[in-house]
Amino acid sequence: MTISEFSKIVAALKTVYTAPGFVPNEQALDMWYRLVGKNNDYQTISVAAQMYMATGKFPPTPADILECASKLKRFYMQKYIFFLNSEMGNSGKGVQ
């Protein structure tokens, strides 16, 4: 994802978590981007941030957002495996 896309996610997080120390400057934004945004896609991190905002009582750390992204990816992988197994029907050879 681009830094511009990531900045939109951080802006949403800052709307919910208004503590002055939460991503307070460009250096912090750059660090968050390197840890969270640079090697992930916008859609996954955007949904992960929304998941966290729906339940998180405190400002997130990069690890919190990455944990939500990991849960999201596992959920979709399980749905995909279920779909593949159902497509194989009764062949007896499911996907593991």
- Per-residue pLDDT tens over the stretch 16-70: 999 999 999 999 999 999 999 999 999 999 999 999 999 999 999 999 999 999 9
- What 3-state DSSP class applies to 80? helix
* pLDDT number for residue 76: 74
The C-alpha atoms of residue 76 and residue 20 are separated, in whole angstroms, by 35
Q: Is the pLDDT assigned to residue 92 strictly greater than 60?
A: no
- The residue with greater pLDDT, 87 or 49, is 49
The C-alpha atoms of residue 56 and residue 61 are separated, in whole angstroms, by 11
Residue with tokens 């990991």: 70
| Structure letter (DSSP) for residue 23 | S
Q: CB-based contacts of 45: which residues, under 8 Å, 6+ apart?
A: 1, 6, 9, 36, 37, 65, 69
Q: How confident is the model at residue 89 (pLDDT cuts 50, 70, 90)?
A: low
